[in-house]
A and B are shown apart, each in its own frame.
Chain A
Amino acid sequence: MLTLTPVESAALLLSLRVASAGTLFSLPLALAVAWLLARRRFVGHQLLNGVVHLPLVLPPVVVGFALLVLFGRHGPIGAWLYDVFGFTVAFNWKGAALAAAVMGFPLMTRAMRLSLETVDRRLEAAARTLGASRARVFWTITLPLMSPGILTGAILGFARSVGEFGATITFVSNIPGETQTLPLALYSFTQVPGGDPPAFRLCVIAVIVAMAALLASELIARRLDRRIRGAP
């Protein structure tokens, strides 16, 4: 039986918290961007598409450094946040969540956009002839029909967030109990003599968490799919 040491459980819980917060925060934003990219044609469409995908192709350290410059206590956005709301993301778990959200964003948006493009627009037209406003059509037809894609996007984003390393360590450093997520803790153990056994234990934990997330998403996806297709 695997009992967790305080360091391990702190890292695991922090990872889950960071990934959950990052995913929940970027979910509506990713949905909006996916909708814009799938349904609207506007000047700068390609540019937006490119910007969204940047974190996927840039070295994570670059993203982390950019976040540090922008959201640090003296960065343009960071200073403003602190002055207006008294809120900072520098060197705390919220910053780790922000880094995780940014890194997971392209995967999330991509999955949602793909599923939105498969929603039958003729069903939306039918709903409008039945008296439903655009907003009602979105909530009752579009959103439910693309729910498998939203779930896939959320799982991908979450998984990416749990595994985030480069951007996080660059942006918010490696502070135990505050920003030391599971991968960061693992990395720390590999840097000290005799750290291999605890590093290995963290490896096993990471595998268990990842497998659990995958299985859960598979189950939910199958249930959603059945609801949409209308099979018994």
Chain B
Amino acid sequence: MIEIDIEATLSTFALAAKFIAPTTGITALFGRSGAGKTSIVNALAGLLTPSRGRIAVRGKVLFDSAHKINLPPEKRRLGYIFQEGRLFPHYSVRGNLLYGTKRTDAAAFDRVVALLGLGSLLGRRPGDLSGGEKQRVAIGRAILAEPRLLLMDEPLAALDAARKEEIFPFIAALRGALDIPVVYVSHAMEEVIRLADTLVLVDGGKIAATGTVEALTSRLDLRPLTGRFEAGAVIRTVLRGHDKVYGLSELAFPGGRLRVPHVDLPLGTPLRIRIQARDIVLATAPPSGLSIRNAFAGRVVEIAPDKGPLVDLRLDIGTAAEPVMLWVRITQRALADLRLQVGSPVHALVKTVALERPSPGGGRAFGEAHEAV
């Protein structure tokens, strides 16, 4: 567990952050620029001293103002990957990688070098690496220091789209091959959906909510934080079938199957997909004679008290045991005409072509209980 309960007065705002997150998988701190995400991570790392509070990771107390405990950064054993890499310019790539190692473990070194594809870079200087290569070296350097937790502060923010794609698999591998828990700071929902298991929403120096990505992205009250305009809930699925003739794949979730353009991954792969609120059509009767292939029966769970011409609804299209929440945006006019209320049965229609590419994610297949946070 990562336990944080801190207060700090910073130049621009007051930070008062309290949350508990699991030390399995990737925990994303998500929020706008200047919300206080980096300050929280700096407090974890020991680079910022809170005025009051307590920080513990996996039972180890790193900071406790009541007991006058404040471990220096070098005693905390938390790896930190910064947005701008921060490689040491006067060391070679090999020197950077070895900087934090306590003992010479050639096998571990070779494994990390192979995992991150650094073999051909070892003799080079940070000055002549590309942005993506620098971040890979920074990740390797942090891992080789054998941290109990990895902190990543927007490690992809300085990279272009192609370089980001180059790094994603390596971050995902941290969860898989190395089993190092990660706290990942981001202001890009796309990265959170692809990588995070647990989501911590940070707003104005405070924690707005903590929970699974699926739970928080479907909550209507958190819309201002999770994305008003790119609104959409994330659902967890498993790749169940391929339709070779039509070039489609089937993603199963409790309560139905979603057809999406072909996904080139083995069957059984857990996938997460965001369904945008504006891409869903509602019907009160089972549809027929439509081109839409994805139709799911469900019921209205919540109607947002929205003013203006549009309104957001939350639907449950899952089973009684495992609810699956969708977030739908329709006009107030449609809401009135269809006489929708909380509890109304509806059919949600999703155009296959509107779906975003699903992301390998979650680490766990659906059905496994998510630990309470």
Contact = CB atoms under 8 A, between A and B. Distances in A.
State yes or no: do A and B come from one complex: yes
Interface of A: 122-123, 125-134, 140-141, 144-145, 227-232
B99 interface: yes
B90 A230 contact: yes
Nearest to B92: A230
A134 B73 CA distance: 10
Contacts of A232: 125, 128
B127 A123 contact: no
Output the residue of A122, A126, A128, A227 with the most chain B CB within 10 A: A126
A128 B125 contact: no
B77 to A, nearest CB: 7
Contacts of A123: 86, 88
B327 to A, nearest CB: 38
Given A125-B47, A127-B99, A230 B74 contact: no
B297 interface: no
Given A122-B82, A144-B90, A229-B89, A129 B126 contact: no
A129 B79 contact: yes
B347 interface: no
A81 B102 CA distance: 46
Given A132-B74, A230-B126, A126 B145 contact: no
Given A122-B82, A127-B99, A229-B89, 6 more contacts: A123-B86, A128-B73, A129-B74, A131-B74, A230-B128, A232-B125
Contacts of A132: 74, 99-100
A63 to B, nearest CB: 37
Nearest to B72: A128
Contacts of B142: 129-130
Contacts of B84: 122
B141 interface: yes
B129 to A, nearest CB: 9
B91 to A, nearest CB: 8
Interface string B106-128: 00000000000000000001111
Nearest to B80: A129
Contact of A130 (B46, B90, B126, B141): B141
A140 B128 CA distance: 21
B45 interface: yes
Contacts of A230: 89-90, 125-128
A134 B74 CA distance: 9
15 contacts: A122-B82, A122-B84, A129-B79, A130-B99, A130-B141, A130-B145, A131-B74, A131-B145, A132-B99, A134-B72, A227-B90, A230-B127, A231-B127, A232-B125, A232-B128
Contacts of A127: 88, 99
Contacts of A227: 90
Contacts of B145: 130-131
B100 A131 contact: yes
B251 interface: no
A231 B125 contact: yes
B133 to A, nearest CB: 13
A119 B196 CA distance: 35
B157 to A, nearest CB: 15
B90 A228 contact: yes
Given A128-B73, A129-B80, A130-B145, A231 B99 contact: no
A222 to B, nearest CB: 15
Contact of A126 (B78, B80, B90, B127): B80
